[in-house]
Structure 1
Amino acid sequence: MKTKLVKGLATVLLASLVLAACGADEGEKTSEGEGSEGLDSNLVTIATGGASGPYNIIGTALGELYSSELGVNSKTQTTGASVENINLIKQEKIEMAFVMSDVLSEAVEGVGNFDEKVGNVSQIASLYPNYVQIVTSKKTGINSFEDLKGKRIAVGAQNSGVEVNARNLLEGHGITYDDVEVDYLGYAEAADALKSGKIDAAFLTSGIPNASLMELEQGLDMMLVPVDPEKIKEIAQDQTYFVALDIPTGTYGNEEAIPTAAIMNALVVRSDMSDDDVYKLTKSFFEGLEGLTNAHQAAADISLEAAQEGMVAPVHPGAQRYYDEQ
């Protein structure tokens, strides 16, 4: 009787050990599987731009996508946009950012707003075009770019991508900041200043439509100032990131397409992020384009096919790995 009891206890103990071992194996497999879907980084902060701009709207949707799909704590940081975003990457305070290609070009070359080359910024993709939207009221008498001379204009937040391309376009037309009264205002502030008559015109360079301009359209007899395509081609001989595009008919109630300049946007990351992490961020970004387009229609112009065209910074190896697989 005693022998049978001992044998029974031994059998139970052995079975328990086998079950425990299987459970441990399953636990290891589960943990390993979850790890392969997530990131090495625990946090991915995405620097965007003004609260009402496409950068912030698309960036917020992207942060939510990363949090849900990759299980990482991803959030956006509202900023003064491109120049500030590059400096935040340089200071290793963020992991990812939306920037304009003109500012990114300055950063990798160490010119303009940057005293030295920014070496720890890599590009994931070329995105969608930012249209230079020069808005005024019909009562100002501003009908052409040259009419901006002597006027009080908003050129974007200081050192933003908007301000960089506004300054370059003005200089390309033979107009310096000494020839105008400059206000450094972001999208919403510029729209309010136009509405109250404090300024005569404003540069709002962004994807279209711009939310601030859509609101402004309701309370102002506004018009968009055209930019001569031939002049843009001339300026682009030195500032190669400028292209001539039209703001489509009906974007802001305009009955005709408005010729203007445009600059491609770029999605960038810190170069020191791991290849695996950037591969997963890139993959999730392109697989989630439909959701980003639902957040803001400017994202409809982003495509995998065109993502490697017009890159001005070195592509991150993790992003390149994703492209090579396609």
Structure 2
Amino acid sequence: MTVSFKTLASAAALAVLGTAATAEELRIGTASLGGAFYPMGQSISNIVNEHAGSGITMVPIVTGGSVQNPNLISTGEVEIAITNNNLAALAVKGVGPYTAAGPIDIGAVAALHPSVLHMVVLADSDIQTFEDLAGKRVAVGPAGGGTLGFVNFLLPLHDMTVDDITPSFVSYSDGFSQLTDGTVDAALALSGYPAGAVMQASAGAELRFITFSDGMLDKAIDANGAYLAVDVAADVYDTTDAGVLIGVNNMLVAPNSLDAATVQAVTAAIFDNLEELQAENASARQIDPAASLNLAIPLHAGAQAYFDAQ
């Protein structure tokens, strides 16, 4: 299929599958404040509220983040959510952090921005590489967020365990506040960039990225094909040097039981008005519409109908 992504009015998109229910409010699961998921969910909600029509509205919900969000869909606490590609694949299989819940019947709605693991210290810190975190106080994000999943993945690769650090389980905003006031030695955040918490910290302190030792980033990517290396320029946060960080692509997901016409209207609202979304949200400028056709899980029937119409 050739995707041209020409403008398609939301009303026309709805005609394929019928009209969505009147006055339907969708709760979109995001993450903690200070990262990129919440403002992305807020911007998507604004686009949906403006353009989806047929009484469909959306409201962003603060959550634990990418790990928790598929579980929140499973329990009905949100109707749509942002998560990482690798976590979506684990959720539909019911493995890893979703073993207790069992397979979660979700479909992909849209490819979003990549998230990168911000590993940040003050510029004068003696912490240079990931191994130097041993014995240090580290803000690792909320307990249900994707940052901790990355930490638990990276620690064994470096012959370390969580017992080798003193973790602080706080929101990204609180974690980077703790960094600048000296409560922790390093702050980590899996987020799109620029991340609000890091931006706020950089306004009052000089920051530096923690690096990987030679060969360790390649080793991590080889160990999990969902991960990738992402270059973050020094001028993003006015850091002393650019960062070569580990990252993962994100996606919007919804339960396959959610009305296909509703999902098609949401998908149309996003991609028919992508320039408007990108003008509002810096992370949205990294969205590649074609990537929605090559995700880790199948598209929801409503999203598939939208892309089939292009």
The alignment's TM-score, normalised by the length of structure 2, stands at 0.88
Structure 1 residue 313, shift from structure 2 partner = 2.1
Residue-pair matches, total: 293
Q: How does 1:1-326 map to 2 (within 5 A)?
A: 39-40=20-21, 42-69=24-51, 70=53, 71-115=55-99, 116-228=101-213, 230-309=215-294, 311-326=295-310
Where is the helix percentage greater, Structure 1 or Structure 2? 1
Structure 1 residue 83, shift from structure 2 partner = 2.2
Could you list the per-position Cα deviations for residues 2-40 of structure 1 after superposition, in whole angstroms to 9, with x for gaps in the alignment?
xxxxxxxxxxxxxxxxxxxxxxxxxxxxxx99x969522
Partners of 1:194 and 1:75 in 2: CA distance: 31
Contact 2:94 2:104 in 1 (8 A): no
Partners of 1:232 and 1:64 in 2: CA distance: 37
Contact 2:117 2:190 in 1 (8 A): yes
* Correspondence for 2:4: none
Partners of 1:213 and 1:279 in 2: CA distance: 34
Q: Secondary structure at the match of 1:281?
A: helix
Q: Secondary structure at the match of 1:117?
A: coil
Structure 1 residue 137, shift from structure 2 partner = 1.5
Q: Secondary structure at the match of 2:289?
A: coil
**RCO greater where, 1 or 2, for CA within 8 Å and sep 6 or more?**
2
Of the structure 1 ranges 233-242 and 281-290, higher mean CA displacement relative to structure 2 is found in 233-242
CA RMSD of aligned residues (A): 2.1
Contact 1:158 1:184 in 2 (8 A): yes
Q: Secondary structure at the match of 1:49?
A: coil
The answer for unaligned runs of 5 or more in structure 2 is 1-10
The alignment's TM-score, normalised by the length of structure 1, stands at 0.84
Partners of 1:151 and 1:53 in 2: CA distance: 23
Partners of 2:280 and 2:38 in 1: CA distance: 10
Q: Secondary structure at the match of 2:215?
A: helix
Partners of 2:287 and 2:259 in 1: CA distance: 24
Q: Secondary structure at the match of 1:82?
A: coil
Structure 1 residue 136, shift from structure 2 partner = 0.7
Structure 1 residue 228, shift from structure 2 partner = 5.0
Structure 1 residue 97, shift from structure 2 partner = 0.5
Contact 1:57 1:295 in 2 (8 A): no
CA, structure 1 residues 110+63, in 2 after alignment: closer, same or farther (shift >3 Å)?
A: same
- The structure with the larger Rg is 1
